Structure 1
């Protein structure tokens, strides 16, 4: 077994690479939505590190190794990128604090959490504050001062500043064809959500970088994207008003690529063996489509990941049984 120092060094290096890989998506989000993205990142980072330090003190654990390994900052970054820009400050702080306490330290800290901390914090605020979580800006709209005023409740958002996302518009659509939605609804772009399709490609580029650096294996991302593609293809009925969207639409809308390369690849709450990782990704992809299409929320990545976190022990047992059967 390698010494503890080498384990900490590898963890620290992996977290640095993950943060670096989020840069293309972060820059694209900033270009699309403006200063609200950076405000979210700052608030989530400060809250996560503060709560991390407080929990370490309560647990009588040393501060330096855990605060410097980067895991809290990575969870805060992924959470902030999933939240709507310019959401209220207290919502970001609540999500980050919940992620650190109930997603990480309640189970013993890094390496022991059964649920993805970022998605646990996101799911809490999505269920508790659904109205604030649906206010996505339609454009940049605000300078830094106006953005701070909006986040901290000192300013009034301009009329028509927020709009429903493409996934939400498709979910509630009853009469328009897909062609009509894409041509008339400003939330739709060329293939997916307007701007969001480029955002997904940016996260795809970051994920490809992590694959190239072997930060994680291909099994979970490929499993998620392949299953999402297959089920959306099987359920796609063209451009009719009852269409659930094409495979390309689902791959380039919502948090698909963020989920595939930065969420399902989380090494602690995810599966460990290759077969289990593949099945974990497949389950996330299928559940994401089911929740998007028939559930009560437009994007189901967070709930899909948390549900599959519960299935990890069963997936690992299946993988071991399959390996033993193959060996015999």
Structure 2
């Protein structure tokens, strides 16, 4: 019998992609960032990533074991969360704080809401924000690459005291500056982005709309200086967040129009926090707000079914008249 004639419930178009395969591709795309962080900050940086990843896997295993649930560590999603969480920390982060962040990401943000596919926000993102709120001093105690003057590598390039016109774009591309592990080397992030696009793991719409929004707004705010606008784009966690965090399948819109609106929204909020807020960086908070509003972005941008026509309103029938010329 011809299988094409079998009528079944949707979805009718299926793909061979699996969660394990997709997460594996994300891990491969993160490798350039891991290598770059290790080369720039030393072996301690690699140990931070190893600890957060191991803790995330352990917490997922223990939680599911205690609740007699199917153990999903083979899908590699906990590994991805651990690596991304580690890349959001400075190289000198105490290991016990790394473990606290892993607990928040896996147990509180992911498993308590039902596991993979049910989390309200990116688990690594929530872990980072909680650690920043609880251990702000540790999260901003950046380690600088050897041979880099502290005067150039101040707390952040985004600080108001830093003259952006004096910042080298080459140094920012290579990663010769202080910061958390994943936000320093722009080249490594772009290599990861290229791999994800080639493998069709993510769509370019979210990273492009986020980065272009920040670039255009910065260009206007910086009086038309392309150099300063590029510094804004390559500073902080914008590139890393746009590629590896805002593109999370569960917490981002599912169609092209919604993804573009989502990316623009995050870009505007991040720029507003950077420019007018009390913090130098606001990408994490902007992505979190975008995650929370994703159901509305999906609703505003839902696709109109093929052949759909809006039903016409029926006209109300006129009241019947009685024999005396009046309405009954």
TM-score class, shorter: 0.7 to 0.9
**How many residues are treated as equivalent by the alignment?**
292
Q: Residues 119-173 of structure 1: CA distance to partner in whole angstroms, max 9, x if unpaired? A: 00000010111111111111259xxxxxxxxxxxxxxxxxx79964333xx4242
Larger radius of gyration: 2
Residues in 2 aligned to 1:129 and 1:45: alpha-carbon distance in whole angstroms: 20
Is the Cα–Cα contact under 8 Å of residues 19 and 74 in structure 1 kept in the other structure?
Answer: yes
Residues in 1 aligned to 2:53 and 2:15: alpha-carbon distance in whole angstroms: 24
- Alignment match of 1:37 (pick from 23, 29, 45): 45
Counterparts of 1:214-293 in structure 2, within 5 Å, are 214-237=200-223, 246-293=228-275
Aligned to 1:195: 176
TM-score using structure 2 length: 0.80
Higher relative contact order at CA 8 Å, sep ≥6: structure 1 or structure 2?
A: 1
Residues in 2 aligned to 1:162 and 1:251: alpha-carbon distance in whole angstroms: 18
Cα distance change on mapping 1:8 and 1:326 into 2, 3 Å: closer
Structure 1, unmatched stretches of 5+, are 142-159, 183-187
Is the Cα–Cα contact under 8 Å of residues 145 and 176 in structure 2 kept in the other structure?
Answer: no
Residues in 1 aligned to 2:189 and 2:125: alpha-carbon distance in whole angstroms: 17
Residues in 2 aligned to 1:164 and 1:326: alpha-carbon distance in whole angstroms: 58
Cα distance change on mapping 1:72 and 1:2 into 2, 3 Å: farther
TM-score using structure 1 length: 0.80
Structure 2, unmatched stretches of 5+, are 1-8, 178-182, 310-328
Residues in 2 aligned to 1:164 and 1:129: alpha-carbon distance in whole angstroms: 20
Residues in 1 aligned to 2:83 and 2:259: alpha-carbon distance in whole angstroms: 23
Cα distance change on mapping 1:7 and 1:56 into 2, 3 Å: farther
What do you get for the CA RMSD once the two structures are aligned?
3.0
